Structure 1
Amino acid sequence: MWEPWDILNIIGTIAFAVSGVIVAVEEDYDILGVYILGFVTAFGGGATRNLLIGVPITNLWNQGELFIVAMITMTIVFCIPALWFKFLKHWSFFDALGLAAFAIQGALYAKEANLPLSAVLVAAVLTGSGGGIIRDVLAGRKPLIFREEIYAMWAMLGGLMIAAGWGDAPWKLYVMASLIVVLRMLTVRYGWKLPKRKLNS
């Protein structure tokens, strides 16, 4: 029977692979660029997290099944009819889904390693948004996490809930993931923003 950890991994991989393909096609990348951008979006966050919390980077290559899932997902999305693709272009949902799944998975990873709260929060943010940052940089875009819309804060919320002991039952993890998705989509819908400062010209 699959554990919540495995399900979150699969959900996050599929969601971020889809968002990577959509960005690559929007930027007019060829099929190699599509696969590369999809892979870095799906796996870049976990690799960055591993580097910063001291996990061997080679652990990335122990995810053969997820590589296959990502490859199949990217191929399907790349080959779907243009009309369906236009529907998928509203990709904020896939980004929100990947953010939720990977933020919780990253926080669980740090929590199970008995790391302090700061590491749990960092793991949640990096796992949830690291792949998206790499995707946006490679696509020549301003990373989503640094824009005005609230993004990383929802990943931190997942990390705080895991640190507070909310990861002790599968249903709690799914409620948490749903909450993060809803909050992220509400952020996009209503344009919620973090404070910022501009220097007078």
Structure 2
Amino acid sequence: MTWEVLSIIGTVAFAVSGAIVAMEEEYDILGVYVLGIVTAFGGGAIRNLLIGVPISALWEQGMLFQIALLAITAVFLFPHNLLKHWKRWGNFFDAIGLSAFAIQGALYAVNMDHPMSAVIVAAVLTGTGGGIVRDLLAGRKPLVFRSEIYAVWAVVSGVAVGFGMAESPIELYALFVITTALRVFSYLYKWKLPNKRLQSEA
């Protein structure tokens, strides 16, 4: 049940996030649906390829596709005068999707008895893959490569699940809330990782 709930949460969050980005870029209705679906399922597809799950497994998620389509439709039909306020919520939905899919990806790898390195990779790719594809298709710099801390929270989720620190449903939901909160705080308060500029400032 925890697996299914996290899948639904992540799918809805990323589908909504993709649809919002598409509308911000003034895509037509087809572009909105395509970007929403790609965002919701892109991370899982990349994860499956790298940890040895047949890519065809995605087509067995009929219910999740229907949920994603309903979420995208709801966003597209949302009144225009209210939609303009959703821009501020884009990062929030992305944080929810990141947390839910990172934990789900880690659980996927653990259930397949993969080593810790694969658990972390599965968490990061599932949590960030859809968003990276979304931003690239929208012609934006991927959110994961921006200054605020992003993928680190997926790594934290992967480590927590891989080391057994979050196993029961309550622990997994608590990890989801904590990871989401950390991501929200990181963009609200501009938490950054160290970086180094190669170009000298004029």
Fold agreement, TM-score > 0.5: yes
1:34-53 matches, within 5 Å, as 34-53=32-51
CA offsets per residue over residues 142-163 of structure 1, 9 Å max, x none? 0001111100000000000001
Q: Counterpart of 1:145?
A: 144
Q: Distance in 1 between matches of 2:126 and 2:199?
A: 36
Q: Counterpart of 1:74?
A: 72
| Deviation, structure 1 residue 83 | 2.6
Q: Secondary structure at the match of 2:195?
A: coil
Q: Counterpart of 1:8?
A: 6
| Deviation, structure 1 residue 165 | 0.5
How many residues are matched? Answer: 199
Q: Secondary structure at the match of 2:163?
A: helix
Q: Counterpart of 1:181?
A: 180
Equivalent in 60, 79, 87 of residue 62 of structure 1: 60
CA offsets per residue over residues 39-71 of structure 1, 9 Å max, x none? 010000000000011110000100000000000
Which 10-residue stretch deviates more, 76-85 or 150-159? 76-85
Which 10-residue stretch deviates more, 84-93 or 8-17? 84-93
8 Å CA contact 1:108, 1:167 repeated in 2: no
Q: Secondary structure at the match of 1:186?
A: helix
How high is the sequence identity, in percent, across the aligned residues?
Answer: 59
Which 10-residue stretch deviates more, 17-26 or 162-171? 162-171
**Aligned residue identity for 2:105:** G
Q: Distance in 2 between matches of 1:62 and 1:151?
A: 30
**Aligned residue identity for 1:134:** V
Q: Distance in 2 between matches of 1:88 and 1:63?
A: 28
Q: TM-score w.r.t. structure 2 length?
A: 0.97
CA offsets per residue over residues 11-56 of structure 1, 9 Å max, x none? 0000000000000000010000000000010000000000011110
Runs (5+) with no aligned partner, structure 2: none
Q: Distance in 2 between matches of 1:8 and 1:168?
A: 14
Q: Distance in 2 between matches of 1:73 and 1:28?
A: 18
Runs (5+) with no aligned partner, structure 1: none
Q: Which runs of 4+ in 1 moved over 6 A?
A: none
Q: Distance in 2 between matches of 1:39 and 1:23?
A: 12
Q: TM-score w.r.t. structure 1 length?
A: 0.97
Q: Distance in 1 between matches of 2:7 and 2:179?
A: 16
| Deviation, structure 1 residue 89 | 1.4
| Deviation, structure 1 residue 126 | 0.4
Q: Distance in 1 between matches of 2:105 and 2:159?
A: 12
Q: Distance in 1 between matches of 2:13 and 2:174?
A: 18
Q: Distance in 2 between matches of 1:200 and 1:143?
A: 21
